Amino acid sequence: MGRRATVAIVAGVLAAAVVAGGLMVGGAVIYLKRVQPGRAAPASGPVTAATKLSALRGTIVFADDFQDPHSGWNAGVLPSGTSFAYASGGYLITGKGTLHHFAEAPFRTGVPQLGMSVTATQTPGAPAGAGFGVTCWRGDGDSRVRYEFVVLSPGTWYLERDSGVDTLTSRGVVLQKGVARVGPGVSPITIVGMCLTLDDQSTRLALFVDGSKMVDRVEKVGGSQGAWLSGLDVSSRDGGDSAVMVTRFEDRDLSA
C-alpha cells in the first residue's frame, strides 16, 4: 500500500519524518488531555474472544473535535510538501506522494483494550488508493507491532500489520481487505479500529465503517508487551493531491 511518512509525538517532542528522504523536523509541543465521559455503550467489562463488539463499546478516555488549535496535534509542512494544520472546523492533512502519513494522538496513556475512532471527509476527485483511518501500536524495538485500519478510495478497507523496529517505514502485511459500503469523499464517514489484548499471545482486531463491522479476528502474535497507543493514518497517491479533514477523533477503553 505504499511507503510511509510519519508524524510522531514522543516524550513531548514533535518529530515529522519523510521516509523516502530520511528527513526530519521537530519542535516542542504541549499536550492537553481532553476527556468527554458519558458517551459509552452499555456493554462493559474486559473483552474476550467471544465478546460481542459494537462500534460504540467502551468508555471515552480521550476525544478531540479540533476546535482548540493547541490540543496537541502536529501543525507543519514536511519537506515532501505534505502538511498538517488546524483549520476551520477540523484538522486538515494534505498528502503528497504515494505515502502513508501517521499522526500520533496527544493522548499518551496506553490502553490494553483500545478502540479508536476517526470521523473525516476527503476532497472530491482524490485518486484511487487515497483515504484515511486509524492506527495502533505497542512495544519497542524488535517487539514492536503496529496495526492499521483504513478505508481507501473508491471504497476498499484494509487491515495491515507491521512489526519490528521499522514499523514506520515498512510496507506492511495486508491481513485482510474487502469492500466497504461507503468510501472516503465529501460526506463524512466514521472508521473505528479496535486493538484488544486478550493474553500474551493473542490480540483481537476489529474494524467498523459507519457502524458496520468489516472484520473481527484474533491474531496470534507473541513477544510484544505493553498497552496500545493510537493515531491517525492518512494515505495519499502520486496520481493526484488529496486532503483529509478530520472533525473528530476518540480513544475508548473497551475493558471499562
Q: What is the pLDDT of residues 133-185, one digit of tens each?
A: 999 999 887 778 999 999 999 999 999 998 765 544 456 799 999 999 899 99
pLDDT tens-digit series, residues 97-137: 998 899 999 999 999 999 999 999 999 989 999 999 999 99
Q: Which residues contact 159 (CB under 8 A, 6 or more apart)?
A: 147, 148, 149, 174, 175, 176, 177, 205, 207, 215, 217
User: Cα separations (Å) of 47 from 17, 26, 44, 254?
Assistant: 35, 38, 8, 7
Of 37 and 228, which is predicted with more confidence?
228
What's the pLDDT at 158?
Answer: 97
What's the pLDDT at 224?
Answer: 60
What's the pLDDT at 236?
Answer: 94
pLDDT higher than 90, residue 90? yes
Note whether 185 and 217 are within 8 A (CB): no
**For the chain, percent of residues with pLDDT exceeding 70:** 78
What's the pLDDT at 144?
Answer: 83
Note whether 134 and 232 are within 8 A (CB): yes
Report d(CA 178, CA 154) in Å as an integer: 12
What's the pLDDT at 16?
Answer: 33
Structural domains of the chain, with CATH? 3-253 (2.60.120.560)
169: amino acid identity, one letter: T
pLDDT tens-digit series, residues 225-250: 679 999 999 999 998 889 999 999 99
Note whether 252 and 58 are within 8 A (CB): yes
What's the pLDDT at 228?
Answer: 96
Cell of 131: 483515504
By C-alpha distance, which of 70, 159, 63 is closest to 118? 63
pLDDT tens-digit series, residues 171-223: 679 999 999 989 999 999 999 999 999 988 899 999 999 999 999 999 987 66
DSSP secondary structure string, 214-249?
EEEEEEE--S--S-BEEEEEEEEBTTB-EEEEEEEE
By C-alpha distance, which of 206, 201, 194 is closest to 255? 194
